Chain A
Amino acid sequence: MKKRHAIAALTSVAALLALSACSSSSEAGTSTAAADGELSGSVTFAGYGGTGEEAARAAWFDPFTAETGVEVLNDSPVTWARVQEMVAADNVVWDVAQGGITQGVEDNPDLEMIDCDVVDCAAFDDAAFPIYPQAVPLFTFSQVVAYNTDTFGDDAPSGYADFFDPSVEGLRLMPSIGGNAWAGQLEAALLYDGVAREDLYPLDVDRALSVIDGIKDQMVIMTDDGQCISQVASGEAAMGICYNGRVGLAADEGQPVAAAWGQQTMLADYIYIPKGTPNLANAQALVAYIVENQGAIASQIAYGPINPNAPVDTDSPWLSYVPTENAEEGDQAPIVPDQTWWTENFDSVVEQLTAWAAS
């Protein structure tokens, strides 16, 4: 029996050793800017992963590392809830976080101020999306009416006019409610119903939903917006409100999809710095680098820069799918959801849409 105990004890020791080997030795990462402004160490960028992350790496992260020696690490998916958790727990592991603006970005206690001595804040003076004291525009993207070219043949839908028309047959995909609370689609529904552009806000959500009621039986709310383009490409859905970048990628692969650009919802992602990051200097430097080189993203994916002074490579194969290159005029001009109204009403719209969807 003694021998058995010895074996058991040895096994436990071996197991413990194996376990301790599993815990990574992540000592790297904390860096402080030396007095002369030299940067070192790393900076962690939290985004959405996938093709967007690959594009950002090629456009910004790798060149930034080459220039400064600071390694850029990635984490995904980014959520504002997790930023809040990190700050509350005083354990901030994201130095720069990407996202839309659904929270305060003027004097939010969970965010650092953007250092305009490092970042070229003035670059956004004439931009379509403003810079905030705690958030910097990253790129524009848009939601478009994507459709299956085999399903429609020569009779291609023109945009929301067909999307909201119940007599046009076929399944439609609406974005997940939790994503953007249909910001842009509600506006489009009101325009479809005859509301003038200048009278859109404050949004009459009930009226917008009464328009969407007409296609409720021909409509599915996606759980994962990433499924949009594959469902449209397979013909499972005839039309969907998909992200422009995904439409570009799928069309490029030869799938039977195209985008109707009329009334595209023009959106911007921002970057911000969670309060208390140990790599503040690196974070500010990365933000500054991205602002200066914002145009580089359009060479990697169908996103457009917001900094008007950041040049875009006109040979980029993605340019035909970049939102700003496809902006139409008049009635069909892009819809830019009103940030102020949406920040104030986001929660109540989410609840209203959820209740409507379940009824």
Chain B
Amino acid sequence: MTTPPAPRRRFGVDFATVLASPAVLFGVAVFLVPVIVILVRSLTDPSPATYADAVTSDIFLRSIWTTFRMAVCVTAVCLLVSYPYAWALARGPKAVRIVLLGAVLLSFWTSTLVRTYAWQILLNNTGVINSFLIDSGLISDPLPLIRTDFAVYVGMAHILAPFTILTLYTQLTSIKPEVEQAAASLGASPTSVFWRITLPLSLPGAAAGGVLVFILSLGFYITPEVLGNSRELYLGSVIVQQIQVLLNSGTGAAMSIVLLVMVVAVLLLVGRFVGLGRILGIRRGDR
């Protein structure tokens, strides 16, 4: 690794700052401004009572529970599935790594809607899996796959797993082989090298990927709606209903702010344990 040259300063402004400023301006214009508009609207359309409407809405409170439960489960599934995948990606033979990397990137690049409907085609009562099982005589009635929590978790985990796979992969490849070799040379068995060296060193990657997946799944609603049961209500759908159907933009805005506050709270809470910088990919000094 080469050390990048120290930033050159001219007229007191560092060139990197100049280069980054359009991106910063863009970020402020398309992200910060709308968030402020939503915040203002939640307080003024028609009054801060929108928050009272939001938090006393039985539907909204239930959707928070449903959504958080879904997000926790999806994060757990993602991490469980991703760890062996990322490990094989980081340590496997070259051919395996190429296939695995190709698979995860192809999936990552495919539209969420396409992947959601693909799962519907697989899991429907008349879908690929059930038709195959029924045609081959293994079952006579279709398995209850679609419109279940199972379908939601599988579909969501498939869509979001690339985030955990890629963060874990990065973390695993950053573990210096010398560290594992040193442990082995001191007599540690491969299992204890894994449990005592590799796994602890890869945990920040798991935390970073897990937080990403958790936060992203809080805002998802098309996938759970298409694959899940219509009795389960998700935060996203409830906010959309307020704004587009009931035309209560203020209440919808208040609900969005509540969601945003919860996301920030989760970030801060996790940040206390693993460091926000790691999750956001900023590392202080030379690691």
B residues less than 8 Å from A236 (CB atoms): 124-127
Listed stretches A273-281, A300-308, A319-327, A346-354; interface member: A346-354
CB distance from A24 to the nearest CB of B (A): 18
**Is the Cβ of B15 less than 8 Å from the Cβ of A5?**
yes
A12 and B226 alpha carbons, distance in the complex (Å) = 43
From B15, B126, B233, B247, A81 is in contact (CB under 8 Å) with B247
Across the interface, which residues of A come within 8 angstroms of B127, CB to CB? 236
Residue pair B8, A1 in contact (C-beta under 8 Å): yes
Bound complex: CA A1 to CA B222 (Å): 50
Q: Is the CB of B124 within 8 A of A351?
A: no
Residue from the list A12, A81, A177, A357 in contact with B231, Cβ < 8 A = A357
Distance between B125 CB and nearest chain A CB, rounded to angstroms:
6
In the assembled complex, which residues on chain B have CB atoms less than 8 Å from the CB atom of A8? 15, 19
A359 to B230 CA separation, bound complex (whole angstroms):
10
Q: Are B19 and A351 in contact (CB under 8 A)?
A: no
Partner of B230, one of A80, A103, A220, A235: A220
Pairwise interchain contact B59-A355, C-beta atoms closer than 8 A: yes
Q: Is the CB of A347 within 8 A of B59?
A: no
Contact count A vs B, C-beta below 8 Å: 54
A contacts with B, residue count (CB < 8 A)? 26
Which residue of A has the minimal Cβ distance to B63? Answer: A358
Q: Contact at A223–B19, with CB atoms within 8 Å? A: no
Interface contact B233-A354, CB-CB below 8 Å: yes
Interface 9-mer from B74-82, B238-246, B279-287: B238-246
A84 to B243, CA, bound (A): 11
- Shortest distance from the beta carbon of A124 to any chain B beta carbon, whole Å: 27
- A221 at the B interface (CB under 8 A): yes
CA distance A39 to B135 in the complex (A): 64
Closest beta carbon of chain A to B247's beta carbon, Å: 6
A347 and B246 contact, CB distance less than 8 A: yes
Q: In the complex, A221→B229 CA distance in Å? A: 9
Query: A interface, by DSSP: helix, strand, loop or mixed?
Result: helix
Q: Is B278 an interface residue, CB under 8 A from the partner? A: no
CB contact list, A9-33 vs B, under 8 A:
12
**In the docked arrangement, what's the CA distance between A223 and B8, Å?**
56
Task: Write the chain A residue with the least CB distance to B243.
Answer: A81
Contacts of B233 in A (CB 8 A): 354, 357-358
Bound Cα distance from A103 to B247, whole angstroms: 10
Asked whether any CB of chain A lies closer than 8 Å to the CB of B178, the reply is no
> Which A residues are in CB contact (< 8 Å) with B222?
223
Query: Using an 8 Å CB-CB cutoff, how does the interface string of B240-259 with A read, 1 for contact, 0 for none?
Result: 11011111010000000000
Determine the residue in chain A with the shortest Cβ distance to B249.
A81
In the complex, per-residue mask of A73-93: 1 if CB is within 8 Å of any chain B CB, else 0: 000000111001000000000
Q: CB distance A354 to B225 under 8 Å?
A: no
Q: Give complex CA distance A357, B247 in Å.
A: 20
Q: Within the complex, what minimum Cβ distance (angstroms) separates A75 from chain B?
A: 16
Q: Does B14 contact A (CB under 8 A)?
A: no
B124 is contacted by which of A80, A221, A234, A350 (Cβ under 8 Å)? A234
Q: Quick check: A358 and B247 within 8 Å, CB to CB? A: no
- The answer to whether A221 and B246 touch (CB under 8 A), given A234-B126, A358-B59, is no
Contact with B along A196-240 (1 / 0, CB 8 A): 000000000000000000000000110100000000001110000
What are 6 sample pairs from A and B whose C-beta atoms fall under 8 A apart? A1-B8, A8-B19, A177-B241, A177-B245, A220-B147, A236-B125
